[in-house]
Amino acid sequence: MALSAQDSEATRARLAAIVGQDSLLSGEKAALFSAQGEQPVAVALPSSEAQAAEVVKAATADKLPLVVWGGGTKQDIEPVQPRDGVILGTSKLVDLELDAANLTVAVGAGMVLDRLQRELAKSRLFLPLDPADSARSTIGGMLATNSSGPNRLLYRSARDMVLGLRVVTPFGQTLKAGGKTVKDVAGYDIKKLYIGSWGTLGLITEATFRLLPLPEAKATVTMLFSALPNGCGAVSDILASFMRPSTAELLSYGALPGEAEQALGMKQGDYLLAVQVEGAVEAVDRQKKELLELAEKREAREVAILEGDGESRLWLRRKQVLSGPSKEQPALLVKGSVLIRRVLDFTSGLAALREKQGLEVALAAHAGNGIVYGLITAAQGETEKLVSASEQLQRLAADCGGFAIPLKASGGIADKLQYWPPRDDYSMMQRIKAQLDPDNLWNSARTPGGRL
């Protein structure tokens, strides 16, 4: 049952008493935090963990649904927000404590990743995570969605970089999991439960990461192939060698802005393999030479070495394209995770949608990790083709030893898509959810396996 105007106003008054009137948004200002047409009763922006815990207690006492909001980069992924919910925003949780001598940093959940990287760079350090939306992604949102980026080939995922977390539970209690050392867990490693939990189990308020020194040198070798098997074969050769690139990104035509593709000489049907290497100058030079030899072996049509500003522009442009579909045109962004040896099979099936169904397809694969993103676009009036394509890709991914999930959709197809791949452990996850959030108030629509 929807909240009455009187109850909504009473809720806003209680929350304002906790965070202050200036940190409580409603009406038109709260509408900026709506997703899929659902507007929250209020948006609370606590400036401390203690305030966040009090907001949680107040919302729980009123049995109001809670949705955590960082940079908002994943809020338009189905399922949708609940009606009459409270948004718990993290934008004011931005404290930073750098311990450069011990290569660690403790940072508030609302800190935007790119801002954190700029602060760390002043001490010649960095956090080796680089999701596509890093200019907007907050630390808490990045961890809640377990976003890492293409450089996980060398540095692994977000779970591997986190030393400790601070969390506000659905009961309004504060929890510290882990700490500042690599071995700081006695018993269950609770922090990993919250990484990838999509805000269903509580609010991450702070994270402690291990850091690395900025590499002495870096370079990207680009190889342009006229056929997909050649590009995938080059990736296989790299993985079987002694090279240790940070990134091996395979991009189809359409996955980069037009001017970038023109500069690289790409045309329809081409695939670009961009391999980034970093580290000591001698190691980078050696790997550049080995990659040039590999490009010749695999019959790359064009090869280039990018460094400095040219290299930075390439990776920035890579982020700008497959971040999501346009709202004006029916489109679907899909993520597949398959066995590395089956990347060619999955990407071939994705690319074949162009010929078989007349769909436009652009793909970007973290080819060395088995992760493939596909942006599929249909003509107006042909949205059912996107639903069919999603189902086909989910079957194909399962055959390739993994799964595929829709990330974003436009054109009114969101409620027709199957989001959760078949798994045997959803019931266990749902029992954990029921224990930690017995009233099922926290982002319940994103509970693994579907709504409870």
Q: Three-class SS string for 50-100?
A: HHHHHHHHHHHHCCCCEEEECCCCCCCCCCCCCCCCEEEECCCCCCEEEEH
Task: Assign 77 a pLDDT band (cuts: 50, 70, 90).
Answer: low
pLDDT of res. 183: 63
Q: Which residue has the higher pLDDT, 84 or 353?
A: 353
* 63 and 83 fall within a common domain: yes
Domain match, 293 and 353 both: no
Nearest to 31 by CA among 81, 73, 91: 81
Shared domain check, 194 and 223: no
pLDDT exceeds cutoff 60 at 78: no
Q: What's the pLDDT score for residue 72?
A: 87
Mean pLDDT of 220-245: 96
Question: pLDDT of 137-193, one tens digit each?
Answer: 999 999 999 998 889 999 988 889 999 999 999 999 999 998 877 666 667 889 999
What's the gap between Cα 41 and its chain centre?
Answer: 27
> Is the pLDDT reported for residue 83 higher than 60?
yes
Strands (E), 156-231: 162-168, 174-178, 203-210, 212-213, 217-225
Q: Is the pLDDT of residue 386 over 80?
A: yes
pLDDT tens sequence across 100-113 = 999 999 999 999 99
**CA triple 313-114-262, angle to 5 deg:** 15
438 in a structural domain: no
In this prediction, residue 324 carries a pLDDT of 56
pLDDT tens, residue by residue, 258-308? 888 888 889 999 999 999 999 999 999 999 999 999 999 999 999 999 999
The half-sphere exposure of 207 on its side-chain side, counting CA atoms within 13 A, is 29
Q: Which residue has the tokens 């069919």?
A: 388
Instruction: Quote the pLDDT of residue 325.
Output: 59
Strands 360-366 and 247-252: antiparallel
In a domain, residue 451? The reply is no
Q: For residue 274, how far is the Cα from the chain centroid? A: 20
- In the predicted structure, residue 36 carries a pLDDT above the cut 80: no
- Residue 437 domain-assigned (yes or no): no
In a domain, 440, yes or no: no
Q: Which two tokens stand for residue 19?
A: 């965070």
Least confident interval from 122-126, 252-256, 447-451: 447-451
Average pLDDT over residues 319-340: 80
Report CA-CA distances (Å) from 401 to 334, 350, 374, 404, 449.
16, 16, 18, 10, 19
Q: 448 pLDDT exceeds 70? A: yes
Q: pLDDT-based confidence at 87, cuts 50/70/90?
A: very high
The pLDDT value given to residue 2: 60
Domain co-membership, 101 together with 200: yes
pLDDT at 326 over 70: no
Domain boundary among 182, 197, 213: 213
Section 207-227 average pLDDT = 97
Non-local CB neighbours of 257 within 8 Å, separated by 6+ positions: 317, 320, 321
Looking at the structure, tell me whether residues 166 and 271 fall in a common domain. no
Q: In 353-425, where does DSSP find H-type helix?
A: 353-357, 383-399
Query: pLDDT value at position 226?
Result: 95
Range(s) of the domain holding residue 154: 96-213
Contacts of 262 (CB under 8 A, 6+ apart): none
User: Is residue 79 predicted with pLDDT exceeding 70?
Assistant: no
- Give the Å distances, CA to CA, from 202 to 16, 138, 314, 443: 21, 16, 37, 9
Question: Which tokens sit at 88?
Answer: 């718990």
Q: Do residue 341 and residue 390 come from a single domain?
A: yes
* Best CA proximity match to 209, nearest among 149, 263, 265, 164: 164
Structure token digits, residue 259: 């001017």
Length of the chain counted residue by residue: 452
- List the CATH number of the domain containing 305: 3.30.70.3450
Rounded CA gap, 105 and 112, in Å? 14
Least confident range from 54-58, 287-291, 353-357, 397-401: namely 353-357
Same domain as 335, residue 300: no
Q: Within this chain, do residues 229 and 274 fall inside the same structural domain, yes or no?
A: yes
pLDDT band at 39 (very low <50, low <70, confident <90, very high): confident
Number of domains in the chain: 4
**At 91, which amino acid appears?**
S
Task: Output the pTM of the full model.
Answer: 0.91
Residue 53 has φ and ψ, to the nearest 5°, of -65, -40
Last residue in a domain, options 321, 353, 370: 321
- At residue 207, the 3 state secondary structure works out as strand
pLDDT the model gives residue 80: 57
Residue 433 resides in a domain: no
For the chain, the average pLDDT equals: 91
Residue 439 inside a domain? The answer is: no
What is the share, in percent, of the chain residues with pLDDT greater than 90?
70
pLDDT for res 94: 97
